[in-house]
Amino acid sequence: MPAGLPRLLAVATITIGLTMSVLSNSMTNLALPYIAHDLNITAESSIWIVNASQIALMVCLLPVAALADIVGYRHVYRIGLALFCLASLGCALAPSLPWLIAARAFQGLGGSAIMAIQPALVRSIYPRAQLGRGLGFNTTVVATSLAAGPSIGAALLSITSWPILFAVYVPLGVISFILAERYLPHTSHTHRPFDFLSAIMSGLTFGLLIFGIDGIGHGHERWLVVSELVGAVVLGTLFVWRQTRLANPMMPVEIFRRPIFSLSISAATCTFTAQGLAFVSLPFFFHTVLGRSATDTGILLSAWPLALAGMAPIAGRLADRHHAGLLGAIGLTSMTAGLVLTALLPPDPSTANIMWRLVLCGAGFGIFAAPNNRLMMNAVPRERSGSAGGIIASARTLGQTMGAALVALVFGLFDFSSGGAADAARAAIWLGAGFAAAALVIGSLRLRH
């Protein structure tokens, strides 16, 4: 697209959509106790309000991305916005838990259409020489939304009841839809049929995988967890085999034969797993182990996403001129060092002593993320941009899910009644540092290509 107002308004519509998708989970987490009270449900049951959206999002990412390659990114994005708005209205009006869970599942489906094709939309809006800048801005939007989500949610809940946390997306979605209709560029379509069987196989694979990973962390019956994971492996193997046999596969397996892409997606998965481990374990560490209040914990945790938001646009611009492998190595070294130093915190650290460590983590993640996404998008043909975006979003969601499950698993190995809380939290942070170090090793191999 030409520079100027049309490009700015095209960026505005994907910024609004991305912000809504990120806020929908962070603000919902905050509202769970209020929802449980109003709907007269248990805290355990209320978790499905979050899980329903996450599962629907993960299951639909690849099929939606493939559909976008066929019918156009602009059309799928607008459909996703419309579905997200309608589902949000359904959440706000939900009279019961089943209604709310169903509405959240549709919200996840709409979110998958918004999230999966974000990189493809950025690629169609920005010229190749500025792709890193565009992806860096997207990373900043995600980080800022993560940091602001709890504060925005708390402010809205102080004014009125929890339905406002869902109703607020309706006017935002309408604005984004109007901008998308007017300013998003029309892109070329790939003329091929949609593979429904592959879509079902992909959805079942990721669904069973998420249930299995979650079951490990929450102590589900061993036979059930094993069955889910084995089922995911078998279906996933059949899915990949089917893709290799098709002239127009839903997931282009051949892009994984490109070392630069396979190394980048592996490093991304490890990095998001490390981030998931940190984001779930750090609130527990600050509140339970260090004795910080909920307000203090929120302020401390904001250091990571704010540092990420500040560094991502700089890294995006650097990625347009320098090798992503080098930038990634610098960023992941910073993130790994920050996690190691956080795990080595003294018993009674000052606020500044904690925050500079988290700034190191967030800045390092920011230096890695945008260049890594740029490298992956440029490694695939333009007509496969949607599928590549779906794979990137799947890696992110899978990594975050694995991180949360691993925290639950690590916590289950320690006896909290005998003072094991500190050891459990530090062990989870050390494990996060291990995944960040693995990402550093994998990502550094790209310097040879």
Question: In total, how many domains does the chain have?
Answer: 3
Regarding whether 257 and 204 lie in a shared domain, the answer is no
pLDDT in tens, 159-215: 888 888 899 999 999 999 999 888 888 766 667 778 888 888 888 888 888 788 777
Domain closes at, from 167, 193, 219: 193
> Hey, how many other C-beta atoms are within 10 angstroms of the C-beta on 438?
19
> Hey, how many other C-beta atoms are within 10 angstroms of the C-beta on 316?
28
Regarding whether 202 and 186 lie in a shared domain, the answer is no
Note the pLDDT of residue 360. 93
Domain closes at, from 153, 170, 193: 193
Regarding whether 324 and 223 lie in a shared domain, the answer is no
Regarding whether 207 and 87 lie in a shared domain, the answer is no
Q: Which CATH number does the domain housing residue 56 bear?
A: 1.20.1250.20
Q: Residue 336: pLDDT band by 50, 70, 90 thresholds?
A: very high
Amino acid at 10: A
Regarding whether 446 and 371 lie in a shared domain, the answer is yes
Regarding whether 265 and 145 lie in a shared domain, the answer is no
Regarding whether 66 and 167 lie in a shared domain, the answer is yes
Task: Identify the weakest region by mean pLDDT among 128-142, 189-203, 360-374.
Answer: 128-142
Note the pLDDT of residue 416. 55
Domain closes at, from 229, 245, 261: 245
CA distance 256 to 323: 20
Regarding whether 408 and 271 lie in a shared domain, the answer is yes
Regarding whether 268 and 226 lie in a shared domain, the answer is no
Domain extent for 215: 196-245
Greater pLDDT, 416 or 230: 230
pLDDT at 434 over 90: yes
Regarding whether 417 and 293 lie in a shared domain, the answer is yes
Note the pLDDT of residue 120. 80
Regarding whether 304 and 180 lie in a shared domain, the answer is no
Write out the H or E segment, with its range, that includes residue 377. Answer: helix 351-378
**What average pLDDT does the segment 416-439 reach?**
82
Alpha carbon distances (Å) from 14 to 78, 119, 338, 389: 10, 10, 32, 14
**What average pLDDT does the segment 299-327 reach?**
82
The answer to whether the CB of 169 falls within 8 A of the CB of 21 is no
Regarding whether 335 and 428 lie in a shared domain, the answer is yes
What is the model's pTM?
A: 0.79
